[in-house]
Amino acid sequence: MSKSNAMLAPQAPADVSLTRDDMSFIAKLVYEQAGIVIREHKEAMTRGRLARRVKALGLGSVSEYCAYLKTPQAADEIPELINAVTTNHTSFFRERHHFDHLRKDVLPKLVQERSARRGRIRIWCSASSSGEEPYSIAAVSRDVLGARSDIDFRILATDIDTDILAKAETALYPVDQFERLPSDIKPLLKIEAHGRGEARISDDLRRMIAFKRLNLIERWPMTGPFDVIFCRNVFIYFDTQTKASILDRFVALLSPGGFLYLGHSESLPQPHPQLRLIGRTIYERLP
Ligand SMILES: C[S@@+](CC[C@H](N)C(=O)[O-])C[C@H]1O[C@@H](n2cnc3c(N)ncnc32)[C@H](O)[C@@H]1O
């Protein structure tokens, strides 16, 4: 059933209880499709998130939803399931020390080195959620780059969740999200009033970013190299094996001397021979 048909379907109150079998089925499917480990204590949260899909499809229960997911017609539903179960919490300049490091220690050197040969600078934000992280990267990058046009500068922002990527691309946020920001960084986002309590990130910053859907556990189409990779607050959802495999692929795409930023509660699954910890959750790729 399409989402729009579901909107027209008569809605009986759905049974959103989650049996042990349904929970293991969903957990297995989500792990296979996205690498996300749903732990048992997340059952209530999972139930709430699945309830959204049960309702959207006009189904009567989570068990019916699981039965539907087992049919061949359900292929289109898998991305919707993944969108429903992802946690997208983020904010502008979250874990600010990474943006300070990028602005003061990384970009000035890269700009000096690359401008001499009209080179490129590439940054990958690999779990970009609703866009606050890549727009914060664009803001500090514009601050360092100024108006210079002798460098080919791009940010690739990717996420598995298509709904959240669509939101990111609008670049529209409630104004109170900006009001909470420290006064030294707020102007860097160059926001423009939009009405209805919202503001939009300037076109100048938006043009620096390409948003794309990318599942970190699938094949990546990019060949790199990247000077900087942000992978923050997504490793927490993965198991050691998934993290180790993604990490190897990050290292292969990072330029020697490039930087990887992880989230505040994340660390490498095991020490990596080509990565050196140089600051709080900041790793440098060795030559
Ligand atoms: C908690 S948010 C973190 C956002 C941002 N990086 C930050 O630190 O503020 C985690 C993001 O990871 C994304 N995600 C989860 N599994 C993924 C996967 N297999 N591939 C790509 N993105 C994934 C989710 O959709 C979500 O937007």
- The model's pLDDT over 139-186, given as tens digits with 9 standing for 90+, comes to 999 999 999 889 999 999 999 999 999 999 999 999 999 998 999 999
84-137 per-position pLDDT tens digit: 999 999 999 999 999 999 999 999 999 999 887 889 999 999 999 999 999 999
Atom number, ligand 1, closest to the C-alpha of residue 90: 9
Q: Which residues contact 143 (CB under 8 A, 6 or more apart)?
A: 103, 188
d(CA 54, ligand 1 centre) in Å: 23
- Contact indicator for 250, 260 with CB cutoff of 8 Å: yes
d(CA 231, ligand 1 centre) in Å: 8
Selected catalytic residue, list 22, 122, 159, 227? 159
Q: Does 237 sit in the ligand 1 pocket, CB within 6 Å?
A: yes
**Whether residue 193 sits in one domain with residue 137:** yes
In Å, what is the CA distance from 266 to each residue of 92, 227, 232? 19, 21, 8
- Contact indicator for 263, 238 with CB cutoff of 8 Å: no
Whichever domain contains 20, its CATH number is: 1.10.155.10
**Whether residue 209 sits in one domain with residue 139:** yes
The answer as to whether 56 is a domain residue is yes
Asked, as a colleague might, if the bond just before 225 is cis with ω within 30 of 0, I would say yes
Total number of domains constituting the chain? 2
**Whether residue 263 sits in one domain with residue 169:** yes
**Whether residue 122 sits in one domain with residue 71:** no
Q: Does 216 sit in the ligand 1 pocket, CB within 6 Å?
A: yes
Whichever domain contains 148, its CATH number is: 3.40.50.150
Atom number, ligand 1, closest to the C-alpha of residue 263: 8
Reply yes or no on whether the pLDDT at 232 is more than 70: yes
Return d(Cα 239, Cα 125) in angstroms, integer: 20
Q: What is the residue range of 173's domain? A: 96-285
* Both structure tokens of 207: 């043009």
Q: Is 49 part of the annotated catalytic residue set?
A: yes
20-78 per-position pLDDT tens digit: 899 999 999 999 999 999 988 888 889 999 999 999 999 999 999 999 999 998 999 99
Which of 55 and 6 is assigned the larger pLDDT? 55
pLDDT band at 14 (very low <50, low <70, confident <90, very high): low
Nearest Cα neighbor of 33 from 103, 93, 80, 88 is: 80
* Both structure tokens of 98: 């990474």
**Whether residue 275 sits in one domain with residue 194:** yes
Atom number, ligand 1, closest to the C-alpha of residue 34: 19
CA 115: distance to chain centroid?
30
Could you report how far apart the first and last alpha carbons of the chain are, in Å? 53
Q: What is the pLDDT of residue 15?
A: 65
Selected catalytic residue, list 49, 103, 232, 285? 49
pLDDT band at 196 (very low <50, low <70, confident <90, very high): confident
Reply yes or no on whether the pLDDT at 207 is more than 70: yes
d(CA 109, ligand 1 centre) in Å: 29
What are the residues facing 154 on neighbouring strands? 122
43-80 exposure pattern, b = at least 16 Cβ within 10 A, e = fewer: eeebbebbbebbbbbbbebbbbbbebbeeeebeebebb
Q: Does 85 sit in the ligand 1 pocket, CB within 6 Å?
A: no
Q: Which residues contact 196 (CB under 8 A, 6 or more apart)?
A: none
The answer as to whether 91 is a domain residue is no
Q: Does 133 sit in the ligand 1 pocket, CB within 6 Å?
A: yes
Q: What is the pLDDT of residue 220?
A: 98
The answer as to whether 90 is a domain residue is no
pLDDT band at 83 (very low <50, low <70, confident <90, very high): very high
Mean pLDDT of the 184-209 span? 93
Q: Does 134 sit in the ligand 1 pocket, CB within 6 Å?
A: no
Q: Is 213 part of the annotated catalytic residue set?
A: no
**Whether residue 130 sits in one domain with residue 56:** no
Q: What is the pLDDT of residue 243?
A: 97
Q: Does 202 sit in the ligand 1 pocket, CB within 6 Å?
A: no
Q: Which residues contact 117 (CB under 8 A, 6 or more apart)?
A: none
Q: What is the pLDDT of residue 2?
A: 38
Mean pLDDT of the 269-276 span? 94
**Whether residue 219 sits in one domain with residue 248:** yes
Return d(Cα 184, Cα 175) in angstroms, integer: 17
